[in-house]
Amino acid sequence: MTMFTEAQNLAQGAVIDHTPAAALEAGQVIKVGGRAAFAVTDIAANVLGAIQVAGNAKAQAGAVVGNVGDNLYWDENGSSVNGTASAGCATTNAVAGDIWLGTLTKALAATDGEAEFALNVVNPEQPAWINRYHIADTTGTMDNTDGGIVHHIQTADQTITLPEIATVYIGLELILINDLADAAGSVGLIVAPHANDGFNGFGITHAVNKSLTNTAATSKRGDYLRLQATGDTMWQVIEKRGTWLRAT
């Protein structure tokens, strides 16, 4: 039997039968039926075996950081801290992830080399947006083509400028995530509407040309805004996490 390479069980978890088309090594991470899984033991091609789909587990990790509850992904071409380069590793970087694994059960430092997580467990305060396209946003300016995409803001003190509502289709949805490691400071992610538009919802009173700021002094990685263009110069805040202060 092959020793642990990619993922390993930490506590009793749910397993299901699976017959792989190609041979699997013990611990090999795969996706089955829309869920992350890994082989409990070596499984030969076209032979019935067991794969784990729930429970606490650990996986070799890249040089990334994360808090308890952060989403964890499997990067098929990632390089683990203690393993073979480009052979695959767990990561908190959604943009690099190929398979969503679950959520961290232990804080992860860049030098740890192993990530402990709850397999296929969702953190309701930090959606994984599993079936969305994830990008690292560096442009700072959005338009109609950004609708439905999950934008991970990975640059400190970045200002995101939204399109004028009058120029986009009603119902356009924008998802913006503060994807920087927790850090102290005075200014973090700023989301600025067009001069004719404003925000409304979750205690935010509508006023035109007033930005929302997720200050670095209080922000946590994974703080986000989910916005929808509802017309009448208004971006409706559909969901959010973290403290977002409206300019006065």
**pLDDT digits over 99-158, tens only?**
999 999 999 999 999 999 999 999 999 999 998 999 998 888 999 999 999 999 988 889
Is 114 found in the same domain as 148?
Answer: no
Structural domain boundaries, residue 158: 134-246
In a domain, 103, yes or no: yes
Identify the CATH number of the domain in which residue 159 sits: 2.60.120
In a domain, 127, yes or no: no
In a domain, 115, yes or no: yes
Is 181 found in the same domain as 81?
Answer: no
Is 185 found in the same domain as 145?
Answer: yes
Q: Write the single-letter amino acid at 202.
A: F
Instruction: Give the per-residue pLDDT at 7.
Output: 75
Is 111 found in the same domain as 151?
Answer: no
Residue 4, pLDDT above cutoff 80: no
Is 179 found in the same domain as 82?
Answer: no
CA distance 147 to 188: 23
In a domain, 72, yes or no: yes
Share of the chain above pLDDT 90, in %: 80
More confident residue, 157 or 63: 63
Question: DSSP E strands: which ranges in the chain?
Answer: 7-9, 15-18, 29-32, 35-39, 49-52, 55-60, 71-75, 89-91, 99-104, 114-119, 134-137, 150-153, 159-161, 173-178, 189-192, 198-200, 212-214, 224-231, 234-241, 245-246
Centre a 10 Å sphere on the Cβ of residue 9 and count the other Cβ atoms it contains.
17
Is 115 found in the same domain as 142?
Answer: no
Per-chain mean pLDDT for the chain = 91
Mean pLDDT of 205-223: 91
Is 176 found in the same domain as 106?
Answer: no
Mean pLDDT of 14-31: 95
Encoded tokens for 185: 């400071």
Is 234 found in the same domain as 177?
Answer: yes
Strand pairing category for 189-192 and 159-161: parallel
Count of structural domains, the chain: 2
In a domain, 125, yes or no: no
Is 110 found in the same domain as 19?
Answer: yes
In a domain, 126, yes or no: no
